[in-house]
């Protein structure tokens, strides 16, 4: 039997980090459809994120992306952190970007030219400086590095360069800071990607040391990959640093988490819970692109989807499951898991929210807030935020 | 035994259409890396295409993309056609674009709003007007239409809208004009795509009539799809209108044709030859993006790769193959096919080129021409061509 | 708003056909694990199927597979039909088998040797004879035909042979009889499969005539294929004959329907309902292999999973959905669909069952029936049914 | 420039291990097509393998599969080794089998029941005993272990059991003996597989120690996986133990190596050569199933395909490649690699064979030998070898 009070208590502790870039414009190589009311600055992104946290109560931190969220001027990142704090938020992981300068055409930290590698490592070190300024704990590294054609570069030499660059950045990490290394099957590279799978990320993190951990982006796998297996394995190895949640039907579609395969999301969250990963040591981050839908409501919906999957995972009757597994009763074991999944947890989450002093329906609360109309009216002119410096 | 003289004769008749957009900049959603010397106008694209034809002798036509190649002014498309003719080229297929206006966020010809559909159909009709002006035979239709989320729109209603729009455009086609309908598994839509597979394209073309034909883009299939089977089937049905050649490791990578799986390209060309498709009724077009490599040499290389695959396909000893197939001798039949594939056809193609009065080595000829240096020096300032109006 | 009474009424009319072979042993190429109590004859399979119908109330028919269910002797198929009728069942689709004779090493209806093709067509005609005897309406055709190596046989010639053979069988169909043509991406053929996708099946059925319809086996697609799109398209074309339901993570895993991706099953059932396919004209059949789990409870569970997906599909508020779609409100439209999916329909189905005079919990009812123990005790000796003649 | 003499010298040292089971019958879950002349005993398999080595000169060892190649009686494995030696062969890797006993329905070394795990480990230890008797260096472990349904068993507990069992076997290895751990995406398990990817195999091997190495079966990956990248990575980590070569279009098709994607095979062999893996420390084994084609010629063809890919890999002008890579010249670097691939190396290999005192054409030599007719005539009666004890 599951202890409902404990489930509710756990759900109240949940923290989902939203990404600053999801509040800005995004698209595909074919088109970026601009939307009205999109933030024009990091502070405006935080303003939007504050709305998400206000109605969900479980989105207290915001990931930054450098240089998209680069701030200059007298108060700099301290001012940004203060802006966040005044809105009930904290700044979260710092995401590096070594793919948008012309220099990075053939890679960054793995580039054949040492000067480009130097520049890339310099950027990563600067990101640690920013972490010092913002109090961020995690440096999240995703490298677009790779090649498009067989023979274009030497696969192994690129691994050597990668290891060397990562080591330098690792050495710079301070107490309580971590490096989260993300892997991705492909895109924007189409033949090799220098960190293509969890095994590669794991092998590098293992050599770097305990501050290096693997990040699982749920959209970065080959078709048919069992992601919850990877989650279970990384937790068993003590190497799961966190998630970039989103969902996909085909490639790295970056849709709202839970939109494409809610059962998979539940299975992932079950392995998180089962493996002792539902703690502050595992960062639960979103990484989505809201290309055609309204952005803030989409993020609220995503947070709610994570909550629902988590609630179902927490509801699994683990004693009954263990008994059925030990007995080798395939159908009974599957039924225990499915019983939790088939449960409609929305009433439970409404209760949780009310007990947290929130509206039971975050989307309705957001709609009533008038924020959507306000930003459309006020954010006129200027340069909308997007995937650019 | 294959007749080498006949093979050489066939190779001399080959015509590969290059796409105007491949001469311009392209990239991924993460970055478009600009290159030096990139054309700034449709005429400059034709100038580059003329270089490709000059050294290969088999790239006499250039596909246009509207509005990227839209020309205004007194001489308009007639002037463009004349510019082409003066360089030994002709204008090829007209490619429509119904994905880059803000109106098309939820689709074009399948959009839920009739006004947007009207606009999209209007564009397609305008493309037929351009065909009349340029003398182009083919209207190539690729629709980015689709949805990102389950429930977003009604799958079937979108098919109805598609059928209605296509019918209006079909009715507008003149004598000798064709509509080539392209399918694509996904991207930029991530849940449904309105023409996702050859079956859907085929079903629509069948109802439209004989002027509607299916285009096979070699990068637009699900993993594991047997493309040559589709080619054989469409030829058998009389519905293969042409190809968009490129290659891929993962999704629609749009790499140089033959770069990822040259054996697949050979098998495709074999089915073309075997099915009687090596004629002017099947359009052999490239559709590639040269994101990180030099563009003109990449196109030359692609044309050469198509030639090599074609040469190998023509070299298949079809009598021996038929005998082994009839005998049910699996290994012997496979060996006949592989014998052609394993042949190094580069010497044969060098001969073909020399007999055509060309340099045996097109890439060396291009390098010697000084064109690359010339365009870098001369094309300074202005707006480089890319995926934008 | 959905009309709950109408939903319940619809659910009471549902009919799911179970396959005789699912009651027998099955496995992989590595091992068939025999189970205790497995039927040794077609009649014993029907006895098991009767248990499934007894507790679910919605599994009134049983598909036969020839020759696995071949019966000889004085009363033959009429006796089998009577055996079924006495247990409240009817005999369903006749499934042909042209893959288990040594003659079929290189194919059956597409074999290069006319004698083998003759034999295969003879078998299919015999299946129609059996339909006449059993009163079955549907002839379900799945062909293992294909090739393993490039060049092994001529793709197009095989299509010609396929068309010829199908035409002969089609001509033999009586009034009210149909031919359901199934497609499959691969397995047991590994290079080409002669009916690999819905497009190929559709093209053949179209030429054959109205009695030829396509069957969608949910496990027979390439990764990433949108099955509900195919369902919607085939319904729009009037060519959806039925389903072989099962589920998969990788290939044709033949797991219990709904086990791998319950959200996909819901989306499929939604398209069925939306497209007017929830009628007797579309056959809802299971095609599963219970390799390691108890077979009868697995089938009961599968039937229940189909019921739950159907209930959710029927609960979709189609008016609200249409409004949101027409308004282009991506999130609202998705939310309407998800609201139905997230509903726990198990209480509703318990009500439906009780109103049908059944136990609210079919699996508990089956357990209490003692049938499992009875067949283990009584079915001793003899040859257990499996994938063999 | 490549040194042709060195290439030829290297090719003469090549050793490809053929698997005993490829000489026996195999098939799919649908059908095993028996062939005439198939061996009835391990010794007859060696007799066939000797023919392969006689005509190719590069297949001196034969992998055994226990219990399929279990020998009893007075002279046992020593007698088998002697039989091999008399035919110019040696016994190669010992392949364990923990998937064909009824006990293994829910797994072997990962089974929830300790008694089954004990049995499985006992079998593995017995395999090491056999290695002692045969002088085999490698214990090749492939586990069919996994689950079919979510919840069926505990993913992490299974990893613990796996680690424990492997450790016990590892401790038993003698001097000069290795454990080669194979991974596989799926089949026969359909939800989780306990060693699904190279990362999992690598993590276990790393903890076990230097005698544990990873085996790459070229058919065991998710669609789109870059296998040569894995090869390069494992070589860099000193953890590549060997290959199971075969080829695939879809899943683990086990076709002749090089049949589906010869370019991929070349790229893999290039990474082997480049990474210093073309030595005795990396075992080059075939693992194929010749379901419909003649078995011995298929194995000869496979060996030749490996030779051709190796020859092309050795022909890569590595100096020119390194220069182009260092210069960031994408097209030039790709062209260097492709130049080697496009070369027809069959004349070179004919020379190599003649210099080794062999017929230039191994398949013709085999045909002339009369062996095929001889075994059909002589191997009458008895139980043909296949995938069974």
Distance CA C124, CA D372 (A): 36
- Give the CA-trace dihedral at C383, C384, C386, C388, to 10 degrees: 10
Instruction: Determine, for residues B330 and D226 on separate chains, whether the beta-carbon distance falls below 8 Å.
Output: no
Q: Which residues of C touch B322 (CB under 8 A)?
A: 154
Judging by beta carbons within 10 Å of its beta carbon (0-12, 13-18, 19+), is residue A219 exposed, middle or buried?
buried
Instruction: Determine, for residues A154 and D337 on separate chains, whether the beta-carbon distance falls below 8 Å.
Output: no
Q: Please give the distance of CA C22 from its chain centroid, rounded to a whole number.
A: 11
8 A C-beta contact, residue B14 and residue B279: no
Number of alpha helices (DSSP H) and beta strands (DSSP E) in chain D: 14, 10
∠ CA(C258), CA(C259), CA(C262), 5° rounding?
Answer: 45
Chain B contact partners (≥3 CB pairs within 8 A): A, C, D
* Phi and psi at residue A227, to the nearest 5°: -70, -35
Instruction: Determine, for residues D226 and A333 on separate chains, whether the beta-carbon distance falls below 8 Å.
Output: no
- Per-residue pLDDT tens for B340-373? 999 999 999 999 999 999 999 999 999 999 999 9
pLDDT band at D235 (very low <50, low <70, confident <90, very high): very high
User: Number of CB pairs < 8 Å for B and D?
Assistant: 48
Question: Residue D32's beta-bridge partner residues?
Answer: D27
What is the chain A residue with the closest CA to B221?
A: A250
pLDDT at residue A389 tops 60: no
- Per-residue pLDDT tens for D322-331? 999 999 999 9
pLDDT at residue D279 tops 90: yes
Judging by beta carbons within 10 Å of its beta carbon (0-12, 13-18, 19+), is residue D368 exposed, middle or buried?
exposed
Output the pLDDT for position D75: 85
Sign of CA dihedral B118, B123, B129, B131: negative
Q: Collapsing DSSP states into helix, strand and coil, what is residue D259?
A: coil
What average pLDDT score do residues A337-365 get?
Answer: 98
Tokens matching residue B9: 């004769």
Length of chain A: 389
Q: Which residues of C touch D251 (CB under 8 A)?
A: 186-187, 250-251
8 A C-beta contact, residue D350 and residue D330: no
**What mean pLDDT, rounded, does chain B reach?**
97
First vs last Cα of chain B: how many Å apart?
52
Instruction: Determine, for residues C261 and A262 on separate chains, whether the beta-carbon distance falls below 8 Å.
Output: no
Instruction: Determine, for residues B249 and D263 on separate chains, whether the beta-carbon distance falls below 8 Å.
Output: no
- Three-class SS of chain A: CCCHHHHHHHHHHCCCEEEHHHHCCCECCCCECCCCCCCCCHHHHHHHHHHHHHHHCCCCEEEEECCCCCCCCCCHHHHHHHHHHHCCCEEEEEECCCCCCHHHHHCCCCCCCHHHHHHHHHHHHHHHHHHHHHCCCEEEECCCCEECCCCCCCHHHHHHHHHHHHHHHHHHCCCCCEEEEECCCCCCCCCEECCCCHHHHHHHHHHHCCCEEEEEECCCCCCCCCHHHHHHHHHHCCCEEEEEECECCCCCCCECCCCCCHHHHHHHHHHHHHCCCCCCCCEEEECCCCCCCCHHHHHHHHHHHHHHHHHHHHHCCHHHHHHHHHCCCHHHHHHHHHHHHHCCCHHHHHHHHHHCCCCCCHHHHHHHHCHHHHHHHHCCCCCCCCCCC
What is the chain B residue with the closest CA to D227?
A: B249
Residues 6+ away with beta carbon under 8 Å from D256 = C149, D246, D247, D288, D290, D293, D298, D301, D302, D305
What average pLDDT score do residues A328-340 get?
Answer: 98
**What mean pLDDT, rounded, does chain A reach?**
97
Distance CA C60, CA C85 (A): 10
Q: Which residues of B touch A384 (CB under 8 A)?
A: none
Output the pLDDT for position C187: 98
Residues 6+ away with beta carbon under 8 Å from A279 = none
pLDDT at residue D336 tops 60: yes
Q: For chain C, list residues whose CB is within 8 angstroms of any CB belonging to chain D.
A: 26-31, 33-34, 99-100, 102, 104-106, 144, 148-150, 185-188, 190-191, 223, 248-251, 253, 255-256, 259-260, 291-293, 387
Distance CA B43, CA B39 (A): 8
Q: List the domain boundaries for chain D.
A: 4-378
Output the pLDDT for position D74: 72
pLDDT band at D30 (very low <50, low <70, confident <90, very high): very high
- Give the CA-trace dihedral at A169, A172, A173, A179, to 10 degrees: 0
8 A C-beta contact, residue A295 and residue A255: no
CA atoms within 13 A on the CB side of B189: 29
Output the pLDDT for position C294: 97
What is the chain D residue with the closest CA to C259?
A: D149
pLDDT at residue C1 tops 70: no
Instruction: Determine, for residues A331 and C301 on separate chains, whether the beta-carbon distance falls below 8 Å.
Output: yes
DSSP state, D122? H
% residues pLDDT > 90 (chain D): 98
Q: Please give the distance of CA C172 from its chain centroid, rounded to a whole number.
A: 23
Instruction: Determine, for residues B154 and C106 on separate chains, whether the beta-carbon distance falls below 8 Å.
Output: no
- Per-residue pLDDT tens for C102-156? 999 999 999 999 999 999 999 999 999 999 999 999 999 999 999 999 999 999 9
Instruction: Determine, for residues B148 and A255 on separate chains, whether the beta-carbon distance falls below 8 Å.
Output: yes
pLDDT band at A332 (very low <50, low <70, confident <90, very high): very high
Q: For chain A, list residues whose CB is within 8 angstroms of any CB belonging to chain B.
A: 26-31, 33-34, 99-100, 102, 104-106, 144, 148-150, 185-188, 190-191, 223, 248-251, 253, 255-256, 259-260, 291-293, 387
Judging by beta carbons within 10 Å of its beta carbon (0-12, 13-18, 19+), is residue A153 exposed, middle or buried?
buried
Distance CA A317, CA A321 (A): 6
Judging by beta carbons within 10 Å of its beta carbon (0-12, 13-18, 19+), is residue C378 exposed, middle or buried?
exposed
What average pLDDT score do residues D351-375 get?
Answer: 98
% residues pLDDT > 90 (chain A): 98
8 A C-beta contact, residue C148 and residue C162: no
What average pLDDT score do residues D15-34 get?
Answer: 97
Distance CA C304, CA B121 (A): 46
Output the pLDDT for position B1: 60
Task: Report in angstroms the alpha-carbon separations of B188 from A31, B141, B180.
Answer: 9, 15, 20
Mutation test of the interface with chain C: which of D190, D224, D288, D389, choosing the one with the most C Cβ atoms within 10 A?
D190
Q: Which residues of A touch B106 (CB under 8 A)?
A: 292
% residues pLDDT > 70 (chain B): 99
What is the DSSP code string of C195-256? S-SHHHHHHHHHHH-TTEEEEEETT-S-TT--HHHHHHHHHHTT-EEEEEE-B-SSSS--BP
Mutation test of the interface with chain A: which of B149, B152, B184, B248, choosing the one with the most A Cβ atoms within 10 A?
B149
Bridging pattern class, strands C146-147 and C192-193: antiparallel
Output the pLDDT for position D389: 56
What average pLDDT score do residues D137-158 get?
Answer: 98
What is the chain C residue with the closest CA to D187?
A: C28
Task: Report in angstroms the alpha-carbon separations of B60 from B86, B289, B384, C364.
Answer: 12, 20, 24, 73
Other C-beta atoms closer than 10 Å to the C-beta of D169 total: 22
Q: For chain B, list residues whose CB is within 8 angstroms of any CB belonging to chain D.
A: 223-224, 226, 249-250, 259, 261-263, 292-294, 297-298, 301, 308, 330-331, 334-335, 341-344, 346, 363
Mutation test of the interface with chain A: which of B143, B148, B224, choosing the one with the most A Cβ atoms within 10 A?
B148
What average pLDDT score do residues D203-229 get?
Answer: 98
Tokens matching residue A159: 């691994």
pLDDT at residue C389 tops 60: no
What is the chain D residue with the closest CA to B250?
A: D224
pLDDT band at A308 (very low <50, low <70, confident <90, very high): very high
Cross-chain CB nearest to A262 (options C259, C263, C335): C263
pLDDT at residue C349 tops 80: yes
pLDDT at residue A341 tops 70: yes
- Per-residue pLDDT tens for D241-252? 999 999 999 999
Chain B closest CA to D301's CA: distance in Å?
A: 9
Instruction: Determine, for residues A196 and D229 on separate chains, whether the beta-carbon distance falls below 8 Å.
Output: yes
Output the pLDDT for position D73: 75
What average pLDDT score do residues C164-173 get?
Answer: 98
Output the pLDDT for position D359: 98
What average pLDDT score do residues A296-318 get?
Answer: 98
- Per-residue pLDDT tens for A121-136? 999 999 999 999 999 9
DSSP state, C29? S
* Phi and psi at residue B93, to the nearest 5°: -65, 145
Output the pLDDT for position A129: 97
Cross-chain CB nearest to C200 (options B225, B233, B274): B233
pLDDT at residue D21 tops 70: yes
What is the chain C residue with the closest CA to A293?
A: C330
pLDDT at residue C186 tops 90: yes
Tokens matching residue C160: 């010609």
pLDDT at residue A75 tops 90: no
Chain C closest CA to D152's CA: distance in Å?
A: 10
Distance CA C180, CA C283 (A): 10
Residues 6+ away with beta carbon under 8 Å from D275 = A156, D231, D232, D235, D236, D240
- Per-residue pLDDT tens for B276-335? 999 999 999 999 999 999 999 999 999 999 999 999 999 999 999 999 999 999 999 999
Tokens matching residue D350: 């004919």
Output the pLDDT for position B273: 98
Q: Collapsing DSSP states into helix, strand and coil, what is residue C333?
A: helix
Q: For chain D, list residues whose CB is within 8 angstroms of any CB belonging to chain C.
A: 26-31, 33-34, 99-100, 102, 104-106, 144, 148-150, 185-188, 190-191, 223, 248-251, 253, 255-256, 259-260, 291-293, 387
Chain D contact partners (≥3 CB pairs within 8 A): A, B, C
pTM: 0.98
pLDDT band at B389 (very low <50, low <70, confident <90, very high): low
Chain A closest CA to D326's CA: distance in Å?
A: 6
Which class is domain C4-378? alpha beta
DSSP state, C283? E
Cross-chain CB nearest to B249 (options D224, D298, D330): D224
- Per-residue pLDDT tens for B208-234? 999 999 999 999 999 999 999 999 999
- Per-residue pLDDT tens for C223-271? 999 999 999 999 999 999 999 999 999 999 999 999 999 999 999 999 9
What is the chain C residue with the closest CA to B267?
A: C150
Q: Which residues of C touch A226 (CB under 8 A)?
A: 249
Instruction: Determine, for residues A321 and D221 on separate chains, whether the beta-carbon distance falls below 8 Å.
Output: no
Q: Which residues of A touch D335 (CB under 8 A)?
A: 151
pLDDT band at B73 (very low <50, low <70, confident <90, very high): confident
Task: Report in angstroms the alpha-carbon separations of D141 from D23, D97, D167.
Answer: 20, 8, 13
Q: Which residues of A touch B388 (CB under 8 A)?
A: none
């Amino acid at each position: 039997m599951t202890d409902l009070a404990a489930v509710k208590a756990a759900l109240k502790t949940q923290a989902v980090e939203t990404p600053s870039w999801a509040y800005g414009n995004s698209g595909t190589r074919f088109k970026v459809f601009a939307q009205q009311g999109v933030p024009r600055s990091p502070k405006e992104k935080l303003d939007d994120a504050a709305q998400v946290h206000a109605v969900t109560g479980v989105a207290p931190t915001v990931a930054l992306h450098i240089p998209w969220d680069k701030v200059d001027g007298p108060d700099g990142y301290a001012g940004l952190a203060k802006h966040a704090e005044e809105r009930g938020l904290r700044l979260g992981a710092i995401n590096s970007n070594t793919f948008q300068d012309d220099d990075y055409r053939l890679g960054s930290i793995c580039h054949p030219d040492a000067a480009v590698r130097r520049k890339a490592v310099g950027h990563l070190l600067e990101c640690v400086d920013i972490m010092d300024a913002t109090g961020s704990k995690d440096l999240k590294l995703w490298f677009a590095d790779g090649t498009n054609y067989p023979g274009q570069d030497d696969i192994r030499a690129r691994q050597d360069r990668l290891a060397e660059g990562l080591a330098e950045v690792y050495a710079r990490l301070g107490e309580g800071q971590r490096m989260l290394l993300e892997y991705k099957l492909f895109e924007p590279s189409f033949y090799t990607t220098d960190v293509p799978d969890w095994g590669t990320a794991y092998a590098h993190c293992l050599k770097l040391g305990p501050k290096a951990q693997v990040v699982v982006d749920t959209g970065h796998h080959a078709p048919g990959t069992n992601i919850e297996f990877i989650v279970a394995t990384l937790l068993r190895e003590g190497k799961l640093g966190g998630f970039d949640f989103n969902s996909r039907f085909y490639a790295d579609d970056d849709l709202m988490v839970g939109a494409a395969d809610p059962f998979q999301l539940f299975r992932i969250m079950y392995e998180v819970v089962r493996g002792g990963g539902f703690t502050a040591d595992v960062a639960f981050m979103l990484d989505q692109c809201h290309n055609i839908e309204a952005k803030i409501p989409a993020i609220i919906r995503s947070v709610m989807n994570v909550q629902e999957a988590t609630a179902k995972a927490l509801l699994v009757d683990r004693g009954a499951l263990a008994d059925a597994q030990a007995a080798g009763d395939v159908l009974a074991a599957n039924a225990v898991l499915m019983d939790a999944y088939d449960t409609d947890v929305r009433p439970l989450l409404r209760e949780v929210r009310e007990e947290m002093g929130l509206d039971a329906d975050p989307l309705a609360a957001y709609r009533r807030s008038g924020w959507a109309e306000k930003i459309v009216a006020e954010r006129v002119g200027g340069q909308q935020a997007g995937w650019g410096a």
